[in-house]
Amino acid sequence: MADVTARMLALLSTLQTGRSFTGDELTRRLSVSPRTLRRDVDRLRSYGYPVETQPGPGGYYRLSAGRTMPPLVLDDDEAVATLLALAALASTTPSPTPPSPAGPTTPARPSAAGSSSGERGIDDAALRAYGKVDQFLPARLRGQVVSVRSSLETTPQPAPTVTADQLGTIAEAIAAVETISFSYINARGEHAIRRVEPYRQIHYMLRWYLLAYDLDRDDWRVFRLDRITDERRTNTPYTPRPLPADSATAYLRQALNKSKQKLTLTIDAPIAPVLDALKYQDAEIHPLDADHTSVTIALDTWQWLLLPLAFLNADFHLPPTSPFTPAYRTFAHRLLTATT
């Protein structure tokens, strides 16, 4: 029975990804025979899961969308991971809202405290789900989930918030390959109506971003979601363009770092303490061996790196050709002078 339960959970987890699978794909993934797969699919249906099948060439198995589903079927690790993910998202708190800039404005989103549930921030939604996720789990897991929740505390992290409705509207437009329009206030406080072909939503360093092709600027642009209001689907389809980067995240990092300078250095320390010291920096960190780590980091100014290196308490080596090297030499001379 334990083997059957594990196999059913594996099948359900695979189907819940939302895509269609051929019978051959599922039998390979689950290491079962076609006959066992058919039996397991019948069991899922008997539990109330709407599994669609298409026989013959081009056939598939998939879960139907838009229907009432039974309680979540998660294994122990997935239940704990779900709870921790909700806790992490719920730990973000809305940043103080700056005064509205002069000039044309659009109505601000209601705050989480005084809005309808549909307009509350995604962090508030995560907090509400965190408090009741155990109600949707099998009985055998509820006690463990309740115990994990009662034993867990998270540190509040101020960050701009977005709403589930906003994320959902943009996500639907991306899925439908459909242009959207919205009001946008940029970092300089300038307001404009933008029309874009949305490509991806990205969560990076406690911020939500939209990568899209701006039709009026005729170029790719990155937008902060917390600066977007009045987003609207236009029902106008578009033909996807090739992204000028390996991924949306890679493009975002390039855009955020385009005014920064890169520095590569070697640190005489294992990778673990280096990762800890630079956890809030946008850095590429790789072990060279057990005791040496390579770091490539994008910096606004040379001072940003001083404090993390001081806390590491390890030797490091800067390339003599780095544009920051003269500044570091000057500062090192000041430290020596101050101690003599």
Please report the pLDDT score of residue 1 as a whole number.
45
Closest CA to 212 of 246, 176, 252, 166: 252
Rounded Cα gap, residues 263 and 19, in angstroms: 42
Q: What is the mean pLDDT of residues 62-89?
A: 74
Please report the pLDDT score of residue 115 as a whole number.
36
Closest CA to 173 of 215, 232, 230: 232
Average pLDDT over all residues of the chain: 83
Give the torsion through C-alpha atoms of 177, 226, 124, 18, to 10 deg: 20
Rounded Cα gap, residues 270 and 286, in angstroms: 10
Q: At the topology level of CATH, where does 2-63 sit?
A: Arc Repressor Mutant, subunit A (1.10.10)
Ranges of each domain in the chain: 2-63, 76-96+105-159, 164-257, 261-338
Please report the pLDDT score of residue 114 as a whole number.
35
- At 62, the pLDDT band (50, 70, 90 cuts) reads confident
- Burial of residue 196 (CB within 10 Å: 0-12, 13-18, 19+) is buried
Q: What is the mean pLDDT of residues 102-127?
A: 53
Q: What is the mean pLDDT of residues 114-137?
A: 70
The whole-angstrom distance between residue 131's C-alpha and the CA centroid of its chain comes to: 22
Q: What percent of the chain shows pLDDT beyond 70?
A: 88
Per-residue pLDDT of 201-226, as tens digits, reads: 999 888 899 999 999 999 999 999 99
Least confident of 172-181, 227-236, 255-264: 255-264
Top-confidence residue, 120 or 228: 228
Per-residue pLDDT of 268-288, as tens digits, reads: 999 999 999 998 788 899 999
Which top CATH class is 164-257?
mainly beta
Architecture of domain 261-338: 2-Layer Sandwich (3.30)
Per-residue pLDDT of 189-207, as tens digits, reads: 899 999 999 999 999 888 8
For the chain, counts of helices (H) and of strands (E):
11, 13
What is the number of other CB atoms lying within 10 angstroms of the CB of residue 147? 10
Q: Per the confidence metrics, is the pTM higher than 0.75?
A: no
